[in-house]
Structure 1
């Protein structure tokens, strides 16, 4: 049993690279997912994941499966969609969720079309679902760099981010940091989705951002504990998914996300905070 758990990582460099990449994504993207959940923006994260696709596809069209070109293209496209969506929301009667959904659908269609113009169905699957088992040293360096930037930014913006989650109107009234915090947070979302895109593709990158955060919500309260438990869930999902992929010849990205989904489902049923178990089978009160 021990050999089944350890041998894939000790014997194969590609498994070690995949594990390191997934840990970097888990440590960097999962705290962003916690704040997305607390700000009721989880579906915004999903929309933003698809918003990076046209830029990454243009990078692919120009340079093929080039890490640099696809990363730069994804960052530009993601930030453009975030800014355009916010602009449309502020100058028209359209709500933010509808605006983001419109740009998400346009981006997804445009990205698939651009990749299909030059690439094969294999290239399209690579862009949509990622190749976590093919991460090279450059990709790992990018993932670790984005994780480092994310934690530094969260350390600087932690208090206004927490306050915006609790009472955004109060933050606007007492500080001029509201807009800066909001757009800086969107930039962090885009950066971490681009990082996840390198390993898990545009359709799966948001999975390690949202599912561990949602699962953690059923076990602990408080932003610090939420972030800690969510990171543990993400890393556990990554290790288990990679092992399932290795031993049973499964696609690695979907396997990782499905493991996270199983943990989320178990948390919905068995968690200590607001789960089905606590709601319908409450603990008996002690009587004096």
Structure 2
């Protein structure tokens, strides 16, 4: 089998593969940079929490409208917004931090969503919603995913400085704009929108994979934020492309395979990146060599004095 048959022919021959590739590329470009900003805010688990938080809204929409993508998306987005508002309210008016309130909210939401879908649908419906069906993306789904990705990139370009200030020094942002809470809410809405767009492709359990794994991995390679954003997007694109090919050739579910490919890139980063094992070991050995050189120099200097 030639390289063309392995890497290009599936997308050349099948429309559903081309749509799946376009959808996963759009998700990669929109969600991976958001993941970098989430890690910057020390909110890595908030993405996972919000991915599960959309499930009750999806479940209610499924019960009322069936497998209607617009209805499922609206229901999921509204559920995510409610969880965000609840988490912000809890962190502001109680002693709980945002991460704790997000964790409590997503556990309840996940359980409620699974129960609702299980009691009103089939096992296949539940599996599609939990794990997605990227090879079944239709024209409407592709428009939704690309639209959310486009809005996300425009939003990041317009509010980049505000999002950074809100991450590093929210008190200063509020002092100069009076709207720090607004920018936090806008950022979390972009996260929710991307997770809602991802759920029909990756499923609610896998949706956060392309958002967080490339972002965490990128931080091991670069100290500068723009480089992290670019690295995360490139890793997400590569994982999406490789995952689709592997799932096609080995007849495996696409969402989990894409996440596993992203996990493989993360593992390589842990070993090879400057902030990973090899880089830290090299820096440690260099520090030891410098220290030994200083000791040897001090010993010679001491001997010369005597």
Deviations 1:136-173 (A, max 9, x none): 00000001111111111112211111122222232233
2:202 maps to what in 1? 200
1:237 maps to what in 2? 239
1:54 maps to what in 2? 56
Look up the SS of the partner of 1:40 in the other structure: coil
Deviations 1:123-142 (A, max 9, x none): 10100000000000000000
The question of 1:34 aligning with 2:36 is answered: yes
2:103 maps to what in 1? 101
Larger Rg: 2
2:86 maps to what in 1? 84
1:153 maps to what in 2? 155
Over aligned residues, Cα RMSD in angstroms? Answer: 1.4
Q: Measure the CA separation in 2 of the matches of 1:165 and 1:183.
A: 12
Q: Measure the CA separation in 2 of the matches of 1:24 and 1:5.
A: 19
- 1:94 to partner: Cα distance: 2.1
- The TM-score with structure 1 as length reference comes to 0.96
The question of 1:277 aligning with 2:294 is answered: no
Q: Is the 8 A contact 2:171 2:180 kept in 1?
A: no
- 1:38 to partner: Cα distance: 0.6
Q: Measure the CA separation in 2 of the matches of 1:168 and 1:212.
A: 26
The question of 1:136 aligning with 2:138 is answered: yes
Segments of 5+ residues of structure 2 without an aligned counterpart are 291-306
Q: Measure the CA separation in 1 of the matches of 2:271 and 2:258.
A: 20
* 1:103-252 alignment runs, 5 A limit: 103-252=105-254
Q: Measure the CA separation in 2 of the matches of 1:215 and 1:95.
A: 26
2:77 maps to what in 1? 75
Query: Which runs of at least 4 in structure 1 moved beyond 6 Å after TM superposition?
Result: none
Figure out how many residues of one structure are paired with residues of the other and give that number: 286
- 1:86 to partner: Cα distance: 1.0
Q: Is the 8 A contact 1:160 1:177 kept in 2?
A: no
Q: Is the 8 A contact 1:85 1:96 kept in 2?
A: yes
Q: Measure the CA separation in 2 of the matches of 1:37 and 1:6.
A: 34
The question of 1:63 aligning with 2:65 is answered: yes
Q: Measure the CA separation in 2 of the matches of 1:216 and 1:93.
A: 33
Segments of 5+ residues of structure 1 without an aligned counterpart are none
